[in-house]
Structure 1
Amino acid sequence: MTDLNNLKYSEEHEWVAVDGSVATIGITDFAADALGDIVFVELPEVGTELTRGDVFGEAESTKSVSELYAPVTGTVVEVNDAVVDDPALVNTSPFEEAWLVKVDLADGAADGLLDRAAYTALTKS
């Protein structure tokens, strides 16, 4: 089980797990619950340059389509094909199996993200 307190969070409801210079990015349980049943996920290709705040994909649910915003700047080094093949993983395992992409971080790219307490406060307001 992922320790949610060790993750960083964006105000757009993405989580980030930093391991050295690589960040793993996913959608939070709060966002997954708000979206409803996820039926389609579109992700960028390996080698795509992400800029923090820019759209990098989308998640479509039975309720709506939501854009995914890059919480960090860097280059996509891995894409989770399992979540593309089975988008429901976002609902059933948002912090484990349903990571979206891994990004080689630009220097300081994870600065300014929220910790768990700040993200929890954001989602309760």
Structure 2
Amino acid sequence: MQRQNWRSWWKWILPVVLGLNGAVMMLAPAAWYPAVPGVIQTGPFNGHFIRDIGAANLACAGGLGWWALDRKQVGAVFVAAVFLDLHAMIHLITPFAPGCGGRPVQDLARDFAGVFLPAIIASLIVWRGLKRKEA
């Protein structure tokens, strides 16, 4: 019985976190900007840009939430995973690019939980969902 309880709530963690983050980014970008570790090092405050990324996070949360309600909706997670994976690739490449900081190990470690882990989780959901469809 406990295992079933785990299965019923774990799938909501990522959409809730992405949704909350996206909402704060859209509603209070000036508060979000200094509150998230490492964001200030990525460049000057740009409220429009932060709201754009917040909107993308909300869209990802919607796709993941749709999947959480109906596990057959792998396409909704696929779209979320595309953004999350592309965002992670930017964070993977940028620390090594000339003039972009020069602290790759620290930057990658800092970004793991907030950038790379959501991309990995969404990609695994898609991969697992596609494997189920093949079976």
TM-score (norm 2): 0.23
In terms of fraction of residues, the more strand-rich structure is: 1
TM-score (norm 1): 0.24
**Greater relative contact order structure (CA < 8 Å, 6+ sep):** 1
